[in-house]
Chains A and B, each alone.
Chain A
């Protein structure tokens, strides 16, 4: 029997996931957070579908410690698979229990009861009865095993046209972000010039009449009026003196001297292993790289905190409020249960940005100024100077061709820094910016190679294609010149760019059509082949200046193919991409649009064995 969704097994009490309100609504609880991907809208649709109620009746409550199930970090494009699966199963149980209660009331068997928008009926039933008439009994129920879910062919919402994001109108018309929160004090941190500077001198009176918070080299100001807080921060910055405690980072690329001491981990069954890298006689080689990348969100990070009677309340846009709570508790030396964190939307989130750091900043300031609700915002300079960066990568590819023009041997060597430095209670160090600056500092965790499947540097290093002989190796460089962590797709971005670029170069060398060249190495994978054919059909072929890219995220999730038309202005060398076509098999879509534009296509999802 299929086991329960992981999140549901961890939080089996039905009431923690689904509740009915007194006035005809349904509340669904999730530990996942909205970061612009539309997850709360999609989860609400899943719940409405499974419960057979109108979409508008379902409200979704997102990550809030103590109030929603602990679902860890919202990352890795997994929220539909994890929280969606848990909520679908929880809703199926809620429906089943409600139907049992209805059956008892109506004198029918449970399978004779019908339901439409929460209204219950059946043969010869004249009484009007709804879910909410039965809701006086809460779901005092522990989910121990699965109950059957609605058959997808009966879906009337999921996968249908016209599902709306439920959060957009509010974001266009009013306060909707953590930056917009009401506060008694506005705060700014006065940053050192770099991570390697510490405070030597500061006149404590310069902040009057505002408030100044100093803990070691962590310096912040607060004022009831926001613009005054900014002025104050500039004034204090002008008075603070800092000293350098370590050498400035030398260069910022992944040059040979940095790659040299890397630790090599060839992948065995997809997992990095400390075994010798196998040599291959490759005849074609190419190297690709990407620089460090900023998240550079449209708004700098922000967080709210209030310290009252030894308890701390935080509102922030962290992707992982539960781990964050434990790490902040460690820094403050308090019980994690004294901290309550609620997720509130931030500006665009593409991975581990400044959101967690801002939460600790706000917490430190709130503790120093108890009893007041503090809204802390980073400056644009803070954001660009101190957020973790997506790490630089360097990828060396090698291959040899067989007589027939296919690939005989394939090597992929990817070098890079850690992509995995989110704050975690399991990490030995404290991976929050302010911690290292405190009078009693906490050092960040020394970078360690991530050794699971499809994580960190080697995410999507394994090719989607099948070759007779291949060696894929992760090379971990421990010392990054800047702070690095997760940015969209982790290593997938660089690895897929290298694989797909190299496939084109090899196709060219073999004198083959790039699409045909890929097809012959994709015969084991009907879903990827279908996506490839769909994009070629959509664009009408690879004529002219068109290039092709194909990948499946983590080699097991969404499969997408993109054709790009590229033009280069021969005089200015300006590169333009006038057109892109995309086809994707993202599994079962929660929402689709009819009247699809001509440059994208959703490849119909056909569950197949083993997929």
Chain B
């Protein structure tokens, strides 16, 4: 078994899955974190966004073996002001892009707790939302940064 940490807890996966994309391993019954989503499968939409040792990564293409011994964070584990701000502001429509947006925004706020609107937009540029919830997302995060 390959050990890693998931949202602060010890986790592991089968060594046969080293080359399987991390997304499938995270969502498998062995790990069971369904928050990262498959959107495009090709680093184009950000729905699969996770943090690996604090850095944003695309779980749809990253081989699971790359996170051995490292810390993976997903929206499920991020009970943070960023997630609360987005949820409290109803900042989504269907919600399928939301976990990825939570992760990308969290990475930004950790390095820059008071980002300007343009900085938020730039940090979320990789996160697609086909429903068009961007204005609400931006508003919620601008409000959070301004407080």
Contacts and interface: CB of A to CB of B under 8 A. Distances in A.
Contacts of A180: 27, 34
Interface of A: 35-38, 164-165, 167-169, 171-177, 179-180, 182, 225-227, 295-300, 345-350, 377, 379-380, 597
Candidate in A36, A225, A379 with the most chain B CB atoms within 10 angstroms: A36
16 contacts: A168-B87, A168-B92, A168-B95, A171-B99, A172-B99, A174-B34, A177-B37, A225-B28, A298-B128, A298-B129, A298-B131, A299-B38, A345-B94, A346-B94, A380-B41, A380-B42
Contacts of A296: 130
A176 B76 CA distance: 12
Contacts of B20: 227
A225 B17 CA distance: 11
A164 B90 CA distance: 7
B75 interface: yes
Given A167-B95, A298-B97, A347-B96, A172 B83 contact: yes
A298 B130 contact: yes
A230 to B, nearest CB: 8
Given A226-B28, A297-B94, A300-B38, 17 more contacts: A37-B93, A164-B90, A167-B95, A171-B99, A172-B75, A172-B83, A172-B98, A172-B99, A172-B102, A173-B83, A176-B34, A179-B37, A226-B27, A298-B128, A347-B96, A348-B96, A348-B131
Given A172-B102, A173-B75, A180-B34, A298 B90 contact: no
Contacts of A165: 90, 92
B130 to A, nearest CB: 5
A179 B39 CA distance: 11
Interface string B69-103: 00000011000000100111010111111110010
Interface residues of B, number: 38
- The interface residues of chain A, by DSSP majority, are classed as loop
Interface of B: 17, 20-21, 24, 27-29, 34-35, 37-42, 45, 47, 75-76, 83, 86-88, 90, 92-99, 102, 128-131, 139
B95 A172 contact: yes
Given A296-B130, A380-B40, A171 B98 contact: yes
B94 A298 contact: yes
Contact of B24 (A35, A226, A347): A226
B97 A597 contact: no
A439 B142 CA distance: 57
Contacts of B94: 35-36, 297-298, 345-349
A467 B41 CA distance: 52
B87 A299 contact: no
Contact of A168 (B34, B98, B139): B98
Nearest to A226: B24
Given A174-B76, A177-B96, A169 B131 contact: no
Contact of B95 (A164, A295, A300, A345): A345
Contacts of A597: 139
A577 to B, nearest CB: 12
Contacts of A168: 87, 90, 92, 95, 98
A171 B90 contact: no
B75 A299 contact: no
B131 A299 contact: no
A298 B45 contact: yes
